[in-house]
Structure 1
């Protein structure tokens, strides 16, 4: 598992932290999508410097049946591919509301 960032839960139900990998270091805000209109709409929207760069979906894991957040980011700095990651708890580190962004490479 490769961690490409770190976020903490906000009081508004979202997350705030940094995306960090090789040439990119950006502050990000993952905010609940208050305008969600159906099952296909994202649960979260991802912003950096006021610009939307991605979205997040709450999914249920097949093996444990627990919920997790799957992120998809796209920006010119990433080239033509999307960057995918999952929020993973930092068990024993930084407190209960802290999460790593775990890189999820897509073929």
Structure 2
């Protein structure tokens, strides 16, 4: 697993950065989806400024820990990026990626 982002949570949203060898988003925001209509609709929409480039769904791990299942996508990406936003010990959140 690789940490590709760090986030803080405030008022139900997450703000932080995402960085890989080819991606550098200095201001990413997970905003609650106020139009959630069913279980397939994401719980969060992911933005950089006004550009939406991903979505996230609330999940619970086998260890009964809550996390967000994240899908990042943009026409400039060769393929979607799948990751998990998990809380770490100090209360901040890490966006972790691992190859399937």
In the alignment of these two chains, the number of paired residues is 99
For residue 59 of structure 1, report the CA deviation from its aligned partner: 0.9
Runs of 4+ in 1 over 2 A off after TM superposition: none
Distance of 1:73 and 1:52 partners within structure 2? 9
Instruction: Say which structure is richer in strand.
Output: 2
User: In the alignment, what sits opposite 1:42?
Assistant: 42
1:25-79 deviation digits (Å, cap 9, x = unpaired): 11210011111011111110000121110100001112x1222111001012321
Ranges in structure 1 where 5+ consecutive residues have no aligned partner: none
Does the CA-based 8 Å contact 2:15-2:28 persist in structure 1?
A: yes
Does the CA-based 8 Å contact 1:83-1:105 persist in structure 2?
A: no
TM-score, scaled to structure 1: 0.85
Distance of 2:60 and 2:86 partners within structure 1? 13
User: In the alignment, what sits opposite 2:33?
Assistant: 33
User: In the alignment, what sits opposite 2:75?
Assistant: 76
